[in-house]
Amino acid sequence: MYEAIVIGGGPGGYVAAIRLSQLGKKVAIVEKEEFGGTCTNKGCIPTKALLTTSHLFSEINEKAKKFGILVDNVSYDLSLIMKHMQKAVSMSKKGIEFLMKKNKIDVFKDKAILKDKNTILLEKSGKQIQAENIVLAHGSVPNIFPPFDKVEGIWTSDDVFKMEKLPQSLLVIGGGVIGVEFATFFSSFGVDVTIVELANHILPYEDNDVAEEVKKGLVKNKVKIIEGEKVEEIKRSEDKYIAKVAEKEIEVEKILLAVGRKPNISEDIKSIGIEIERGVKTDKHMRTNIENVYAVGDIRGEIMLAHVAMYEGIVAAHNIAGQEIEMDYSAVPSIIFSNPEVASVGKKEKDVEKEKVNIYKFPVSANGRARTMEEKLGFAKVIEEKETKKVLGVAIVSANATDMIMEGVLGVKYNMTSHQIAEAIHPHPTLTETLLGAFEGNFAIHI
C-alpha cells in the first residue's frame, strides 16, 4: 500500500507527488495523458510560446526602424512557430518525467477510477492500487455550452494548438485572460480579430483602468472590441460563420470560444461521497469531507491558476505528512501576457472603500528605461490602507509586468507599508522604477 496516490500529473498533482516524496512518503501518481496537465500541454506553456513569437514579430515591425535596425520584408512561417511551441511543450513534459524518476515516484500511465477512499482501479490494466491518502488533481476542461456546443468546428483554446494555418478573420467569444491573450497573438500577425465580452469591459476581473490600457494595445493592432453584449446566435455556411451580436451580424472564418474552463469531475468522485459545490470542496488544509482524500488545483473550481495549484499541492503534501499548514490566498498574483502585459495582486480598486485607502499611480511614460524601449502604454498602481499605510493591492500594466509583480506579492503577503518598499533602493534604469514611483505616492520624484 502506498502512503499517497496522486491522480493527475498537472501542476498541482506532480508538485504534490514530488513534495510527498521529499517528505519521505511512498508515492504513486496516475496520469492518463501527458504530464504537465492543461498548463504544460494546452495552456500556459504553449500560449506563452506563441505569444513570445508574436511579441517579437510586433517589436520588429513597430520598433526596428526607430532603433536604427533596417529589416526588409519581415514575414513568418506558421509551421516553424508551431514547431517552437511544440518544442517548449515537449521539454517541459520531459522535465516533469525526469523529476518523477529522480524522486522515485511510481508512475502509472492509465486512467484512475476511484473505487473507495483507499482504492483506485487502473482502467486499462485492470489493476487495483491502494493508498492511505489520495490527492485528486484531475484539472479542468474547456467550458462549452449552448448554443456553441451545437455548431460544428468552433475552436476552444485546445484546438488553436493544432492549427495548420492562420484564419483571415476570427471572432473571440470572451474577453477574459484567454480571449485577450489569443486576440493579442492573432492580431499581431494581421488576423482580423473581434472580441465580444458580456461584462462591461474586457478583463472583467481587473480594474477598468487596467482594461482600458490593454484595450489601447489591442485597438492599435486593429482588434474590434464589443463589450456588454453577448453572441445571440451562430450560423455556419461552408467556409464561414455568421454570429449575431446586438442585432448585427459578424461574418468570420473562425470562432474561438474563450469563456474559461470548468472542473473535471468524474462520476467515480461523486459516487464515493465527495462533497461538491462549484468544484470539489476542501478546507484550507486541502482536505475534502473524506479525511484522507485531498483535492488541489482546477478540480476545486476556485482560483484556476497553475501557480495556485502548485502551492495547494505543497500544502496537501505537508498535511498528509502530518504537518498542519493552511493555504493562504491573500496574495495570489494574476498575470496576463497581453501587449502590454498585466499583473496584479491583492485588492482591486473596484473592491475597496475609497475613503479608507490611498491610490497612487505612476505612468510607464515617465520611466527612463521604458523610454529606451519605446514603451509608452501602461502604469503601476498601488492601493494602500490610509490608517496603516500597508499595501493592500498592486496592479501593473507594462512591458515585463509579469516579471515585476513579485515586489507587490511580497508587499501584500507580509503586510509591508508603501514606505518600506520605497526605501529599498531600486536599480536604475529599470522598469521596476515604475513601481517605485507608485510606492513613493505623494513623494514620487519623477512626476
Question: Which 3-state string (H, E, C) describes 120-173?
Answer: EEECCCCCEEEECCEEECCCEEECCCCCHHHCCCCECHHHHCCCCCCCCEEEEE
Q: What is the mean pLDDT of residues 298-325?
A: 96
Residue 157: is its pLDDT beyond 90? no
Residue range 39-95, pLDDT digits in tens: 899 889 999 999 999 999 999 999 999 999 999 889 999 999 999 999 999 999 999
Q: What is the DSSP letter of 446?
A: -
Residue range 312-333, pLDDT digits in tens: 999 999 999 999 999 999 999 9
Residue range 334-369, pLDDT digits in tens: 999 999 999 999 999 999 999 999 999 999 999 999
pLDDT the model gives residue 96 = 96
Q: What is the mean pLDDT of residues 172-179?
A: 95
If you search the block for the grid coordinates 472564418, which residue do you land on? 253
pLDDT the model gives residue 158 = 84
pLDDT the model gives residue 121 = 96
**Of residues 201, 285, 428, 446, which has the active-site annotation?**
428
Residue 446: is its pLDDT beyond 90? no
**Residue 223: which of 160, 269, 179, 276 has the closest Cα?**
179
Per-residue pLDDT band for 147 (boundaries 50, 70, 90) equals: confident
Amino acid at 247: E
Cα–Cα distance, 238 to 305 (Å, whole number): 37
Percent of the chain with pLDDT over 70: 100
Domains of the chain: 4-142+262-320 (3.50.50.60), 148-259 (3.50.50.60), 334-443 (3.30.390.30)
Per-residue pLDDT band for 239 (boundaries 50, 70, 90) equals: confident
Active site residue 428: yes
